[in-house]
Amino acid sequence: MSFVSKTRESLKAERLLPLPPSASISPPESGLYKIKCKVLGRPLPNDELEHQRLGKPTALAVFASDALSSTAYASEEIIRALVLGGIGVAAFNFVLPITLALVAVLVILMFSYRQTIKAYPSAGGAYVVTKDNLGLLPAQFAGVALLTDYILTVAVSVSAGVAALYSAVPSLQPYRVFIALGFIALITWGNLRGVKESGKIFAAPTYFFLFSIAFMIIVGVIRALGGQLHPDAAVAMPAITKQAGIFLILHAFASGGAAMTGVEAISNGVPAFHPPEWKNARSTLMVMGSCLAFMFIGISWLAHIIKPIPTDDKTVLSSISSAVFGTSPGGHAIFLIIQGATMLILVLAANTAYADFPRLASFHADDAFMPKQLTKRGHRLVFSNGIIALAIASSFLVIIFSADVTHLIPLYAIGVFTSFTLSQSGMAVHHIKEKEDGWKLGLVINSLGALSTGVVTLVIGVMKFMHGAWVIIIFVPIMVYALMRLNKQYEHEHEELTKESREALGSPILLRHVAIVLVGDLDMSVATGIQYARSLRSDGVRAVHIAVDPARADTLREQWMDLHLTRIPLDIVHCPDRRIDRTIIDVVLRETAQSDTEVSVIIPRLHRNLWWHQLIHDHTANLIANALEGIEHVNVTFVPHRISEKT
């Protein structure tokens, strides 16, 4: 229903009543729109925006799937980095210490983000915090780094999910890119339908994964303590006793950093919680962090015991779960269930990025650092353009990297740690500036957070530089430069559009107004155009025919003279090069060459009901309109003439 209200002035003059929906005078909806409603659900009006909130259990599912799911590959990436160091089985001695170091960073981060959530209950992402405390330029860095990481989150998670799938069903391995793209399409569809529905879709798999991994860890610990778990790798691997160097350990640490991505998701999405938003968000954050720490340590500990060698067609997690549950039919069934749960959570982890990327992009766009289209809410009140942009970018990465997690990992995590560092530094500045209750403790926590994440950023950047991190290190500044230029353009436009606009709104009309009607044939559409031109009460109406075919022009001239429309002359303008648009520009510029002239170029346009009727006619009208669009005081008017359908 469209409700029409009026300003005070116009209310005095007349009143338009809101039309009851049943009495709508609008034409029927198009078939395309009906299909859209079928696929995406009924359209949501603006006032339902408030209702799109998440309860804590749903919010945990939506925001935690990214962080939790990274336990599916984080331990594996640590092991891969260590094994590459050529230290043999000794590699497995370092898995647990490195994991614990990363968990320490995680704990610092959790407490840091508690501060952020309280200080920025409305939108506490790295972008807003950095902008508020460090300024717009650092905020662009934080934002772009995070956006890049969201794209990688989708690519990495979906690829890892497909890896879980083909670890269980090896015959699917050749189709991994195709399957990954299918999953991305599915998640995109879910998100275009709206955040609440997607929350529903994703709640079950998150909890399913959480509980099945917890079950695996508990069973594993019991069996290990009972002496029933034996190393996998001891046989296959040479027992080199070379000592691991600090470089190797840092490299493995950098690879494990991927486990931390997604921790910031909740602070970005505080407005999606039920009120009191910040309290609910905080407690959800603590639950999420605890689960993550438990699972990460549990899996690394089991890896330390079982020592599974990572291969191309079997993930470490799948080796652990086969070892824990054995090869009996019952054990194998549980193995398959855990692989299924892993696949689901990983594919759906991409959903966290879908919850945050469009929101963050809309912040950039609100500040005029990204195209304004990203602020538009679509059919279902979500930022559809951002969702589609994310889908395209991540599909591109999946194709380029053939859905291979290990090749994607070096690009990953550096972005998210950059934004951690910037946002924690921002929080530290915030405490110093605002001096709210307990600011000193806050300052300590956030400074520690900034310092530790800064160190991690540095470690990842150095260790992974040659393996692909250089792409991100080059890409982010270039992107920030582009956004700055975009912003300058927007500001320039805004300035040019608004300065003196108040004066301009009262400016007098031009001295002379000429209406030019473009005449193709002597037909009803031209008659409608001439009728409209005369209703303009301009200082002169000209009919102009652009003559590509001289013979046709002669006929037209004869016909026109027979009409005796003495006040409307027909000008035949020859166009031997057949470039109608350039010829019309010429005609029009001759008019505007006289000072203070407003020109209306009137183009009769046929409208047909059926699409194929539109197709069979040329689109010269649009060509002309586009050609003239840059010339000031040359106004293009389409005068419609409707062709009825043949019965």
Q: Which amino acid is at 453?
A: T
CA distance 392 to 618: 33
* C-alpha–C-alpha distance, residues 611 and 604, integer Å: 19
One character per residue 353-372, x = contact with a copy of itself (rule: CB under 8 A) = ------------------xx
The minimum distance between CB 598 and a copy of itself, in angstroms, equals: 5
Q: C-beta of 631: minimal distance to a copy of itself in Å?
A: 6
User: Measured from the CB atom, is 171 or 566 closer to a copy of itself?
Assistant: 566
Examine residue 492 and tell whether it contacts a copy of itself (CB under 8 A).
yes
Using the rule CB under 8 A, give the single segment among 124-132, 145-153, 200-208, 617-625 that binds a copy of itself. Answer: 617-625
Tokens 């209702």, located at residue: 51
**Contact between residue 78 and residue 252 where contact means Cβ atoms under 8 Å apart:** yes
Query: Would you count residue 13 as binding a copy of itself (CB under 8 A)?
Result: yes
- H-run or E-run covering 602: strand 597-608
**Residue holding tokens 């405390």?**
133
Q: How far is the CB of 559 from a copy of itself (least distance, A)?
A: 8
Task: Choose the stretch contacting a copy of itself; rule: CB under 8 A; options: 126-134, 274-282, 319-327, 530-538.
Answer: 530-538
d(CA 318, CA 466) in angstroms, rounded, equals 29
Residue choice 38, 535, 595, 611 for contact with a copy of itself (CB under 8 A): 535
Distance between CA 351 and CA 153 in Å, rounded? 9
Nearer to a copy of itself, 149 or 598 (CB): 598
Q: Residue 393 CB, nearest distance to a copy of itself (Å)?
A: 16
Q: Least Å distance between CB 305 and a copy of itself?
A: 52
Binding residues for a copy of itself restricted to 537-556, rule: CB under 8 A: 537, 542, 548, 550
Q: How far is the CB of 412 from a copy of itself (least distance, A)?
A: 29
Binding positions for a copy of itself, 459-488, rule CB under 8 A:
486, 488
Enumerate residues 22-61 that contact a copy of itself by CB under 8 A: 24-27, 43, 45-47
What's the rounded Cα separation, in Å, for the pair 620 and 210? Answer: 61
C-alpha–C-alpha distance, residues 291 and 244, integer Å: 30
642 binds a copy of itself (CB under 8 A): yes
122 binds a copy of itself (CB under 8 A): no
**Could you give the CA distance from residue 150 to residue 234 in angstroms, rounded to a whole number?**
38
646 binds a copy of itself per the rule CB under 8 A: yes
Residue type, 382: V
For residue 451, which of 135, 127, 138, 108 has the smallest C-alpha distance? 108
Figure out which of the listed residues 313, 434, 436, 586 binds a copy of itself, where binding follows CB under 8 A: 586
Local structure of 453: helix, strand or coil: helix
Pick one of 9, 50, 312, 437: the residue that binds a copy of itself (CB under 8 A). 9
308-337 positions binding a copy of itself, by CB under 8 A: none
Count of chain residues binding a copy of itself (CB under 8 A):
123
From 172, 250, 432, 631, residue interacting with a copy of itself (rule: CB under 8 A): 631
- Describe the crossing of helices 316-325 and 277-306 by its angle, rounded to 10 degrees: 70
The residue type of 320 is I
In whole angstroms, give the CA distance from residue 42 to residue 36.
9
Please identify which residue in 169, 396, 497, 555 interacts with a copy of itself, judged by CB under 8 A.
497
Query: Which 8-state DSSP code applies to residue 312?
Result: S
Instruction: Give the 3-state secondary structure of 186-246.
Output: HHHHHHHHCHHHHHHHHHHHHHHHHHHHHHHHHHHHHHHHCCCCCCCHHHHCCCCCCCCCH
Least distance CB 322 / a copy of itself (angstroms) = 42
Please list every residue from 209 through 238 that binds a copy of itself, using CB under 8 A: none
- Which residue, 58 or 525, is less far from a copy of itself as judged by CB? 525
Using CA atoms, how far residue 114 sits from 127, 136, 467, 469, in Å, is: 16, 23, 34, 29
How many Å apart are CA 245 and CA 87, to the nearest integer?
10
Among 23, 505, 551, 595, binds a copy of itself (CB under 8 A): 505
The answer to whether residue 509 forms part of the interface with a copy of itself (CB under 8 A) is: yes
Can residue 611 be called a binding residue for a copy of itself (CB under 8 A)? no
Half-sphere exposure of 331 (CA within 13 A, CB side): 13
Which lies closer to a copy of itself via its Cβ, residue 433 or residue 617? 617
Please state, as a whole number, how many other Cβ atoms lie within 10 Å of the Cβ of residue 585.
17
The residues in 556-585 that bind a copy of itself, with binding defined as CB under 8 A, are 557, 560-561, 563, 565-566, 569-579, 582-583, 585
Instruction: Please give the backbone phi and psi of residue 393, each rounded to the nearest 5 degrees, phi first.
Output: -65, -45
